[in-house]
Amino acid sequence: MINIAHVKKYEQVPCPYMVSKSLKLLLILFFIVLTFTLRNLPAWCSPLEEAKIVKPNNVNERSLEVSEKYYKKESILKFNEAVKNWESKNADEAIKLWEEAISIDSNLWVAYLGLGQAYDAKKEYQKSLDAYNNYLALAPKEAPDRDTVLEAVKYLTYLLRHGEDAIKGSDYLSLVKTKHQGKDHYARFDLSKPLKIYFYPASGVPNYKNEFQDAFLTGAKLWQETLPGLKFEVLDNTILKIFSGKKAAEKEKELIDQAQIKVIFPSRFKVKGDPTNPLAAQIDAQSFPIIRDKKNFRVLGVIMISPFIYFQSQIAIPLEPLSKLSKEEQIKKIKIISAREIGHALGLWGFSPNPDDLMFEGEINEFKLSDRDKNTMKKLYELDPEKEDLLTN
């Protein structure tokens, strides 16, 4: 999730009233002399007004200095104690103390920063968003964490656009419909027969490794955990080696037409394809959707679908972005990409808003299905076509 700069930097701000004993004596002597002088001033000389601490009324005036000069001492002490608990990984106690600090002094803006960070870590996204919004409303404009918190607010607002139930519920079935002929439908494959996969020959493609095909199949088979009847059959394209020219193209077309899922490993990816490249030229369907990370929007995998009732899915995994990783990382990434793209092909045409799910709309680093992923896929394949708008390929 979002990493907010640590709040400890505000902990050790010295209190202006914490002075040594010797300095206290000097101050006492100074005030005795000052009092005597003021009492004997001429009548025309205005007396010195009592010094006051004026607390800022708005964000522009609120001080970055977290001290008793601007904020209540008890609140600051609670804040400091909360920081120590946060560092000790006691998030619940830290939250309790930050809440207490705010109840004592609601202007202590750094406490909202701590709360936002802690609630985010506990996956309490709405509470985290509320805390960050309070921070933005109260923190001085020059506060060093303001830009980072703004990004966190954008991210959390996006996560919560379907409501917190969509994140915390047992599944996200309501979010996986797709649109066909102007209507929203669920879509799924008929699993009574193995799904046929065709891998476009890729031995001459830059950065391609023979292990990538097995890695892709391992990713695809992850869904067998929740769909025991799911089987895959790889169409053998070695027969193409005995043909050439037009005959080879005809034979390949026969194989392609049998496949429900086509897989291509291009060096780079172009949605429209490159007519001079036989591999890239096959990419002629619409792009839907693109796996990205939430910051750099790095294309890692693309699934394309036929315009005709999702009869075929074509998955493209550009190799250039993967080439920057180690071989082990490449294999792991292909497994993740495959599992996600096969998840779409099997019918999960939307995304989950929960970062713990494989089908989350942002970057994923773990090759595993969450309970929500499993529940969603299982429920999709249990839907009654008599009661739901359902397309079965």
**Is 177's pLDDT higher than 70?**
yes
Rounded Cα distance between 197 and 174, Å, is 28
pLDDT at 272 over 90: no
* Bigger pLDDT: 64 vs 292: 64
| Rg (alpha carbons) of the chain, rounded to whole number | 31
Q: How far, in whole angstroms, is CA 257 from its chain's centroid?
A: 37
With a cut of 80, say whether residue 142 has pLDDT above it.
Answer: yes
- pLDDT grade, residue 204 (50/70/90)? confident
Nearest-angstrom CA–CA distance, 132 and 128? 6
Average pLDDT (191-219) is 92
Q: E strand or H helix at 217, and its extent?
A: helix 211-220
Q: Higher pLDDT residue, 252 or 343? A: 343
pLDDT digits (tens, 9 = 90+) for 45-54: 333 333 333 3
> Pick the residue with more confidence: 236 or 95?
95
390 contact partners, CB below 8 Å, separation of at least 6: 185, 186, 187, 188, 383
pLDDT recorded at residue 270: 52
Centroid of chain to Cα 203: 35
Q: Which residue has the higher pLDDT, 294 or 148?
A: 148
Distance CA 264, CA 210 (A): 13
- Find which of 54-68, 223-237, 268-282 is predicted with most confidence, using mean pLDDT: 223-237
Per-residue pLDDT at 129 exceeds 90: yes
What is the pLDDT confidence band of residue 74, given thresholds at 50, 70 and 90? Answer: very high
Q: Average pLDDT in the 301-311 region?
A: 49
Residue 113 pLDDT: 95
Q: What is the mean pLDDT of residues 62-73?
A: 85
pLDDT at 302: 52
- Please indicate whether residue 185 or residue 240 has the higher confidence score (pLDDT): 185
- The chain-wide mean pLDDT, for the chain, equals 77
Give the pLDDT of residue 268.
67
Q: Which homologous superfamily does the CATH classification assign to the domain defined by 171-392?
A: Collagenase (Catalytic Domain) (3.40.390.10)
Residue 315's pLDDT band (boundaries 50, 70, 90)? confident
13-39: pLDDT as tens digits: 444 433 344 434 443 444 444 444 445
> Residue 352 in contact with residue 373, Cβ under 8 Å?
yes
| CB-CB contact of 162 with 149 (8 Å) | no
**pLDDT tens sequence across 96-128:** 999 999 999 999 999 999 999 999 999 999 999
Token pair, residue 168, equals: 């915390």
E strand or H helix at 377: helix 371-380
What pLDDT, in 10s, does the model give residues 232-251? 999 988 877 777 777 777 88
Is a pLDDT exceeding 60 seen at residue 163?
yes
Fold agreement (7-162, 171-392) = no
Domains of the chain, by residue range, sit at: 7-162, 171-392
Q: What is the pLDDT of residue 334?
A: 92
Q: What is the pLDDT of residue 133?
A: 96
Per-residue pLDDT tens digits for 335-371: 999 999 999 999 998 889 999 999 998 888 899 999 9
What integer pLDDT is reported at residue 276 of this predicted model? 52
Domain 7-162: CATH superfamily, name plus number: Tetratricopeptide repeat domain (1.25.40.10)
On the question of pLDDT at 61 being above 90, the answer is no
Q: Where are the alpha helices (DSSP H) in the chain?
A: 21-39, 73-87, 91-104, 109-121, 125-138, 146-159, 164-168, 211-220, 245-258, 319-322, 327-346, 371-380
The distance between the two most distant Cα atoms of the chain, rounded to a whole number of Å, is: 116
Strands of the sheet with 195-199, listed across from one edge = 232-234, 195-199, 261-264, 313-316, 301-305, 286-291
Nearest to 109 by CA among 85, 142, 81: 142
The answer on pLDDT for 78 being more than 60 is: yes
- Mean pLDDT, residues 62-88 taken together: 90
User: For residue 121, which of 152, 148, 80 has the smallest C-alpha distance?
Assistant: 152
